[in-house]
Chain A
């Protein structure tokens, strides 16, 4: 089928491994994303706080600089679990913003013009499709959450020396685990919304609504029933609860319902949101829809 010959020839060359083909979706999605100037600015905006956190570590480990800056309260500069909780809270919010911009377009673009049958008529399953799209958000959100967190952890380990790394190594697990559940929940939720709502603006709005409206209802429920269980509808709060408890931090970082809602319930809520998103994706991502009747 060479261009100059203008005749059809079948393909007899090599093929890529079946398991790796989901990554084609990721590659093309990234190529499209990086064409957008706004996306690049947003990504930089999400990474910039990490530079401030890195600067904090540098100052905290540099006595000369502290003297020059005439800083007195040495305790303020301790890089301990609280520092990483703050950083994680800041970066997971950045991840939320990034997700609101990137997530809504990932599937909607394929559904709008009926491209899904073209993907699924190939040796490519719906699971591969979701995995390919999920990888886009997974990589992107990782780049602003646990990856910079671990880099700063390494920086602190290098600067602090005197065995700091060994006494704080346990923090690697909450950093990775808490980031993983947050990334998974955000990604699946925005993919489900993207599969449901085809317009970007509306989809972004729906993601915001999903986070803020149930939280509002939860507060109303708490006020009416004089309980704290309504907090279960506040996904951000549930994540904060998991994070703070995973780092063995103080009550002050989460405030109300500290002891009333068990951390297992918080995990349960986030896992439930993930499963619900998967159910929606399963219902929406079909090559052909069958109309009942």
Chain B
């Protein structure tokens, strides 16, 4: 049986005499996990603990079955890490920097050189690979960090705020790259961000932290699958027969004043069918809002909830 990607068992981390993570417990099984939370929620501390930079004061954290504290070296041999802050050697050319990092990960020099070139071209910095990293723009530095994280072919890719400081086209390109990497291999992804869209576009499961506690663990794939479609209609001439026909198709309807109707549609029903019923019954649809429960709703719900006795919020 395959190990869960991340397993947290009453994980508590104290830094500088303060408890940052308060007994986190949870299992994340998806290949692409998003880490969400407001500033100071403990996202980076959790990542640093998974990498073995911080030792848990209580409990444990496992990545692919390897304990971050006791099997740190073995765990880090599987990891590619893209830190949030600047992390480079400014006088080195981009490709030499990535080659250097790949060699430290254990690639033989010739292989490291080959992979460094490939990684640089892959992230779209092929033309700039011989320039010193210190001369790169902020977006280019982010891409160079991604290149060094993937050059040695890790099994787990940890990205801490990867789209920080990127303009919209560069952000879009980076998100596409991350999705491509995820789909092209069996790599596991842990992406920390405060941008919900980044997580929504790349991850299958999300861990939401608040004040060092787990606010929510949500499987986005299941959520998407189970998500019911909501329609808000403003109609003229809608009678009971309209709503009963929709209910006959499997929808749930709630009728309000002034012809406003809320419809919850099952996956099997398409919007076109609602129009068809309306046309058949002579009902005018003057306005229609179609929305799904987004990650934003899940996130906001998690942020609004209050603490539960088991440690989770």
Contacts and interface: CB of A to CB of B under 8 A. Distances in A.
A194 B21 CA distance: 33
B185 A9 contact: yes
B105 A122 contact: yes
Interface residues of A, number: 42
Contacts of B111: 11, 13-14
Contact of A16 (B16, B53, B87, B107): B107
Nearest to A28: B100
Task: For chain B, give the interface size range.
Answer: 35 or more
Given A7-B184, A288-B54, A123 B73 contact: yes
Contacts of A115: 87-89
Contacts of A28: 100
B14 to A, nearest CB: 9
A11 to B, nearest CB: 3
Contacts of B187: 10
B181 interface: yes
Interface stretch (B28-36, B146-154, B223-231, B272-280): B146-154
Given A123-B74, A287-B48, A13 B108 contact: yes
Nearest to B45: A288
Contacts of A119: 101, 104
B172 to A, nearest CB: 17
For A8, A18, A25, A292, the residue with the greatest tally of chain B CB atoms inside 10 Å of its CB is A8
Interface in A274-293: 286-288, 290-293
B90 interface: yes
Nearest to A17: B106
A158 interface: no
Interface stretch (A80-88, A106-114, A200-208): A106-114
B76 A10 contact: no
B89 A293 contact: no
A114 to B, nearest CB: 5
Interface string A107-133: 001101111011111111100000000
B121 A15 contact: no
Given A8-B180, A8-B181, A14-B108, A117 B81 contact: yes
A8 B107 contact: no
Nearest to B181: A8
B76 A9 contact: no
A93 B140 CA distance: 45
Given A1-B115, A113-B87, A113-B88, A118 B101 contact: yes
23 contacts: A1-B122, A8-B122, A8-B150, A8-B181, A8-B184, A9-B153, A10-B153, A10-B155, A11-B115, A25-B104, A109-B91, A117-B53, A117-B87, A120-B53, A121-B81, A122-B76, A122-B79, A124-B104, A288-B53, A288-B54, A291-B15, A291-B16, A293-B17
Interface of B: 15-18, 48, 51, 53-54, 73-74, 76-77, 79, 81, 83, 85-91, 100-101, 103-108, 111, 115, 117-119, 121-122, 126, 134, 148, 150, 152-155, 158, 180-181, 184-187
